[in-house]
Chain A
């Protein structure tokens, strides 16, 4: 907790002067705004039924007018400064968080749910900024208001001030009491809501199944049962929680009456003027507000601190080992060597052990094995998304840990099964690997991969925007775009992950030919599903449960009669 606050102050660092300004402005504007009722009171004191003295009234009212205008200007300036502090802090924190995301080991990204990381960068930052900064300013102005109001009241009448000061905190206790008792109701409500949402999710998402199997009546029965339960709980939760306002207002009314009573008595006994009473009544009206606000802010502050902790947890993550001073890998021909590599995602469950492989330029390596056998692990290691535990992987004889990541990755062209496209146009996506490509180069690459024919039929051709997650394109088209992307940048080495399904035979043939063209003369690693790909490889790596169990050409492996032969026979004959 302490640490979080400290880090937070660090982020405020640049806004520290602004923060000081804000505090000063708040203090000044509070004093001024609370001074106004006193001026009004003094003016009213000069309105006596026995005679009105216009001179002093005019003077007090003019003074009030000036104070009001200055106070408003100060308030506005404070509002703007507070906004600045909040939004700039949000901006800085987000920027830092995003920068961290770009440099985190993939292990961290893989092992955390996207939704969770996203909410840290987006909603947590908002909650924390709103809660903490606004909370801070509310607490500060609240306390200042209480002190200044109390001071003014004291200056008018000691007795009345004490009455107000003693009775007002009552409303805080009332509010606390109500809030505590409604909490459990809200929790129950959210449990029921969760259940209802799950049912809605299933029944709406599975509408076809529901229709096909005549389940509609039963699903409505289930829904109505939950719905009625939700009604009962919600009604109670909403009613009880809405008690806070009226009950505190009632406490307010009692305070007001008490102040009025004691005040009137004091006026009679000559301890105060009628104008003083009117000023003190105006104070009594405002006095309870900061108390309630502060008690409300405390939960918000706790909430904000939790969010801050979650953000700092992300920002403080250890980034990838720096490669700043390492040399670049140059003149890549495509020699890749894997020596005695061991690797595991979880130290308790060893995965790859003692893995050796030597690939010469232009050779094809097919990686095969049943689903979930860890074929993608190899991609992770080759691209250095993950570092090996022991042994080494080298390209052109250089250990890939001794060169910059960028120079290594630029040597590879990668097409994954998960065809990720970024938001933007078709063109934006194709030129990812070669931002300065000319129109001719783009079209040539697209023609080579047979993507040109479908692109030119899109409404805006190469400038057609790609929907979120490539929504407006078919799986096969997305795959072709990803291949074109690599085709254009023409790297010396390739990593390809063949798609298994969702592509029809014709498109698959196109993808196939595109792959073929791409691979010509390049060192390629292919996670293969298609028989033709496997059989045309120079070497086949057979993986099982994360381990490379066999290595060799198709005929060698068939002869051996091991796992590969078994796999081959079960799938293709």
Chain B
């Protein structure tokens, strides 16, 4: 929780003024029964109407000052809570941006989105409520007790007894119900899951004639949910009647005690009424407090989840080199490089050694999960090699400034993702200063210009969120173009032409080999036809290279390669019966 306190920066004043004004308001409220007692004891018996007018004026004045201080409190609470969460959100967003991929993998994207949105919002409303109410309710409760002491010590003892009993009942029932509500929530999730399954799996369920069984399953869960809800309901429904009984019994004793004290001449009738009023005030406040208590664990849980994310520190140390040695013999070198993901049992990349000369083109092929993506992820330090070395232009990637390092690459990821905005904005994503000419020539090379040209507005055509208004092939080509706009020294295409037909794929290949800046190209694919024209091909199996060489060499020497080749190409060449 300490991690979060610093985000009060700039709002420390508000964090104190809000409760302060709230306390002030509570104090004004506590004076009301006193004034009423004065009216009854002084104004009424003597028939002093002027005095009564004056005192009622005081009551309104108390209300007005109460209003002013509440307004101040609300304002500061809103400002403090919102300000705190704005700071927090901003810091969290920036922190997430600074995390490495292995940390992001561990945390999970959807969890991070929840942290940044609903969790922060929950903290905001919880904090706002706490700033306003956390102080008020206890002050009223204990203030009422203290006031009772100033009136009469003996009568006040009834308060001393009642308050703990009431607190135990109110807080106890509340705390007792919290885990029960969690249980209800879990049941509800079961019902939700079954409903969801029956929607997404409607075809399969009907194909297997499982409707009656599913109906039964739903009813069982639904009934269990209902039973649990009723169970919690029975307990929480006891709260109001119980507190009602306790407070009223206390008032009965209070009046009896009051009567004895008046008889003894220690109290007046008006003061008995004042005591009675204080007792009533306590009940209202304790119930408010209980509602607050319900929200505290929720807020605290959200805050803790946020703090957990903030406490994750990026492991990657940054280097300092911000230029490349263009005369280096090799543009890319892997020396015994291995990668083991945190928590994984085995290496995903194991002892890989190979090197590429500037301008060379290499293909990487192998079955899903063989470590192709992991292998290329080592280059821009998406992950660091757990052993061995990865170098570009003769220097270990760890020695480069990471922003510079990544600017060397044009990396087209397997999962193509464009952003909401125009085609141009997307093309400028990795290269802010590119001209329209640069963009168009990149689009042409990526075989994307042919359709972008036809878009409404061309480069100003708007891409929807999740690129929903593009076909898979169009999105892939735009992603390739985005990489080419940077004129990268090293171009990595990670399975990024899978949605293209063979003809377009071929055109793309020849356009890339004709680029005037001659990047080193690494092509990752499951399709033999995509990699077979490369200068060299690496065949990966379980993270280990099974063979490195030209297409013809591999056909002759590498059994794995031959198998892939035959299943994909030969079948269609060979004709019948395959």
Contact = CB atoms under 8 A, between A and B. Distances in A.
Contact of A505 (B207, B406, B567): B567
B97 A40 contact: no
Interface in B403-427: 403, 406-407, 409, 411, 413, 415, 417, 419-420
Contacts of A83: 229-230, 233-234, 237
Interface in A60-93: 61, 64-65, 68-69, 71-73, 75-76, 79-80, 82-84, 86-88, 90-91
Contact of A246 (B52, B70, B576): B70
Contact of B40 (A197, A274, A412, A531): A274
Contact of B233 (A58, A79, A242, A476): A79
Given A243-B71, A409-B209, A505 B89 contact: no
Given A76-B237, A211-B406, A570-B501, A420 B204 contact: yes
A215 interface: yes
Contacts of B146: none
B262 A49 contact: yes
B74 A99 contact: no
B134 interface: no
Contact of B207 (A75, A281, A414, A535): A414
A567 B127 CA distance: 63
Query: Which of B66, B273, B382 has most A Cβ within 10 Å?
Result: B273
Contact of A250 (B66, B256, B270, B407): B66
Given A505-B567, A532-B571, A88 B78 contact: no
A69 B233 contact: no
A250 B64 contact: yes
B511 interface: no
A81 B548 CA distance: 76
Contact of B49 (A80, A203, A268): A268
B367 A46 contact: no
Interface string B253-271: 0011011101100001110
Interface residues of B, number: 146
B11 to A, nearest CB: 11
Interface string A234-278: 110011001101110110111011101100110110000010011
A84 B124 CA distance: 34
Interface residues of A, number: 144
Nearest to B420: A202
A392 interface: no
Interface stretch (B149-157, B215-223, B332-340, B516-524): B215-223
Given A54-B259, A246-B71, A504 B526 contact: yes
B222 A57 contact: no
A72 B242 contact: yes
Contacts of A483: none
B484 to A, nearest CB: 12
Nearest to B268: A49
Contacts, number: 382
A496 B292 CA distance: 57
Contacts of B53: 261
Contact of B429 (A103, A213, A265, A489): A213
A208 B203 contact: no
Nearest to B70: A246
Contact of B56 (A73, A117, A261, A383): A261
Contacts of B394: none
A531 B571 contact: yes
Contacts of A295: none
Nearest to B226: A91
Contacts of A536: 577
A284 to B, nearest CB: 11
Q: Which 6 A-B pairs have the closest CB atoms?
A: A253-B63, A79-B237, A504-B367, A213-B430, A83-B233, A572-B572
Given A242-B74, A249-B66, 11 more contacts: A44-B273, A47-B262, A47-B272, A90-B229, A200-B93, A203-B93, A205-B109, A214-B407, A250-B66, A253-B66, A281-B36
